[in-house]
Amino acid sequence: MHIRAFELSDESAVIALWDRCGLLRAWNDPAKDIRRKLSDTPELFIIAQEGQAVVGSAMGGYDGHRGAVNYLAVDPAVQLRGLGRLLMTEVERLLRERGCPKLNILVRNSNLGVRDFYSALGYELESVVCMGKRLIPDV
């Protein structure tokens, strides 16, 4: 298993991974999400590779106040082997190096397994409400 920075040649494999993991949504164009990420701190977009296969990803971000992670994905064929923890540890390290004091994670309420995963890593439920507004339609 090897963790490295995303490369443009990984795009189709990463999008296929996100699809296998159920992360794609009709209102988000994953190719546009990748291009947007590559224009801002691309070194925080990491993948896990096993042989030639892309088996994991994490897209970190830092705005100078808080860090975030999107598209944390582990191929269902290799889940429960510690890869998600490894990816999060690497994202946390990269953010800590940039002086990031806190990392916020958004998880869908219905995704109990992922909520349990983050709890096991020390993340806590907070008394906040997530609000959003689409500024640029993807589709």
User: Is 41 domain-assigned?
Assistant: yes
List % helix, strand, coil for the chain (3-state, nearest 5). 35, 20, 40
At 17, which CATH number? 3.40.630.30
User: Is 130 domain-assigned?
Assistant: no
Which residues contact residue 85 at a Cβ distance below 8 angstroms, ignoring those fewer than 6 apart?
A: 121
User: Is 24 domain-assigned?
Assistant: yes
Q: What confidence tens digit (pLDDT) does each residue in 34-43 have?
A: 999 999 999 9
- Could you write out the three-class secondary structure of 20-84? HCCCCCCCCCHHHHHHHHHCCCHHHEEEEEECCEEEEEEEEEECCCCEEEEEEEECHHHCCCCHH
User: Is 22 domain-assigned?
Assistant: yes
Residues 12-16, mean pLDDT to the nearest whole number: 98
pTM of the full predicted structure?
A: 0.92
The whole-chain average pLDDT of the chain stands at 95
User: Is 133 domain-assigned?
Assistant: no
What is the tally of structural domains in the chain?
A: 1
52, pLDDT greater than 80 = yes
Q: What confidence tens digit (pLDDT) does each residue in 82-123 have?
A: 999 999 999 999 999 999 999 999 988 888 899 999 999 999
Q: 100: domain range?
A: 2-120
